Amino acid sequence: MQMKQALILFVCVALLIVPALAQMETKTAPSGQVIWAVDMDVPIGTTGTFTATLQDGTAVDGSFSYIPTAFITVPISTNVNLEGDTSTATFYMPSTLKMSLWHADTVNDTRQIKLGYGQYAGLWNDVVIVDAPRSAITSFTITADKTVTTAYEYRAAEDAAKDLAGYKNQSIIDFAWSVFWDALAFMQELYYWIVFFFVENLALILALFFAVPMAFAARSSRGNPERFLRQYFKTLRGFFEFIFQVWRLLTETIGTVIGWFKLV
């Protein structure tokens, strides 16, 4: 009888423990390969931790939570942590959270590992970053209270070692991400001033365009009409060439900014 009671107690305890650890998965890279990136689909109501173990034995730890803030499904409070670099967000759509952990490029001669998250893969709400040794990921362990779907991107260990060794400039994708918001702000400011000067205040600009050279010509001609006209058109031409150079500089700058993103 006591044996039966003990068995029932064991089953009850097991049923309580299993939901708390719905997933405990460790993936080791196949022989001759390393893990270059890990993609994760996190269901609503999930908390978990993960560890990426590098070839040199270094462990990169992280955690995440994707929990509704009320009894209904939304809003969903999200917290992501990678070795102390944290990010939070609130989502209002009941959708799976996408996360990706990957080897980023070298920045200022320092290797980085990044973790991006959002409800759409690649369109990250934010990216947390940790500096890491020049060593590839050989295994990845994830523990969560709900099942997180994982997908692994592998690379040949030899190719990964070449990419990780030595100084390496930022990739085009990392570069585009780093300059995107600055470029967007620049374009918005440029658009504002173009509209301000050449749409909303066009009449004023034209008046100044003709009046300023006239004022310079009148001052230097000292009442001589012939000299006034000659000086006026000379100054007007110089002012026109100045405006033309400004426009050319603006168009070249816009073309340069657009050209950055054509490389992606």
Q: Where are the domains positioned within the chain?
A: 24-167, 180-262
What are the DSSP calls for 151-195, one per residue?
A: EEEEEEHHHHHHHHSS--PPPHHHHHHHHHHHHHHHHHHHHHHHH
- Looking at domain 24-167, its CATH architecture is Sandwich (2.60)
Give the integer Cα–Cα distance in Å for 62 and 132: 13
Mean pLDDT in each 10-residue stretch from start to end of the chain (264 residues)?
50 47 89 95 96 95 93 88 95 93 79 93 90 93 96 93 67 58 71 70 68 70 71 72 72 66 47
Task: Kindly state the tokens that stand for 43.
Answer: 């269901």
Cβ atoms of 141 and 53 within 8 Å: the answer is yes
Q: What pLDDT digit, counting tens, does each position of 203-214 carry?
A: 766 676 667 667
Q: What pLDDT digit, counting tens, does each position of 136-147 carry?
A: 999 999 999 999
